[in-house]
Amino acid sequence: MANLINGKEISLRVRGEVKAETADFIQKTGTVPGLAVILVGDDPASKIYVGNKKKACLEVGFNSFEHILPAETSQADLIGLIEKLNADPSVHGILCQLPLPKHIDERAVIGAISPKKDVDAFHPANVGKIMIGDYDFLPCTPAGVMELIRSAGISVAGKKCVVVGRSNIVGKPMAMLLLHENGTVTICHSKTKDLAAECREADILVAAVGKPKLITADMVKEGAVVIDVGMNRDENGKLCGDVDFSAVSEKAGFITPVPGGVGPMTIAMLMKNTLTAAKLAKNY
């Protein structure tokens, strides 16, 4: 039976560290870190995420600025708001909740956020910095995965790492972070010829495609580390990941649950990035 990597516990530790560092930062600089979150439309899942981010800000001692805009908001108006937030010294981090309505170009919106306030690390300037290994911020979910791996005492160096999924938000940066830790990395996607064979090679397997229970026990090497980034609903409407947890946990060495695995880490790393942005703004 696999060892469970408990994201809830590890995220509480990270948030506790951020809270202590924030209190110290406020005392020394008189500046309270501020995170602005923009939500366009009323997607229920996005509303929950925004609420969770607000709670986390209060918990660690940040100011939280919420901007809830109607779904019909124009791209020009959204970018106008971002430009105001870029210029606002009380705002250190800006996060625009994705996905955006179809009439808005996500790339234009991401590009409008100042790289110094881009706490999601999606801006092309920050993506480039991650590529060369000289970065201020890391994307929250891949950074959270790396924290989970480290917390379990697992070394990436020399391991065969397989990332299933090639999104700009998780798959691509995840592969880069594993590479920076000296893993030998394969990225799999919808055009991969034999996904099961590739996955069976993995010492560390990260699933991030959004397909319920895609990764089955026969696709996993005995004793592998299995990280499930997926957040889906199964046929009964129950939350589940990209990994068939009950079957794979019998074979893996370490595994993350859904919920309670990667999810809580994403918000914890967002808090960490916002504090970093506040420190950079003050040359702290």
Catalytic-labelled residue, pool 53, 117, 221, 272: 53
Pairing mode, strands 239-240 and 232-233: antiparallel
Catalytic-labelled residue, pool 97, 117, 118, 251: 97
Any catalytic annotation for residue 43?
Answer: no
Any catalytic annotation for residue 97?
Answer: yes
Question: Phi and psi of 147, rounded to 5°?
Answer: -65, -40
Catalytic-labelled residue, pool 120, 203, 228, 242: 120
Residue with tokens 């808005």: 104
Any catalytic annotation for residue 120?
Answer: yes
Tell me the catalytic residues: 53, 97, 120
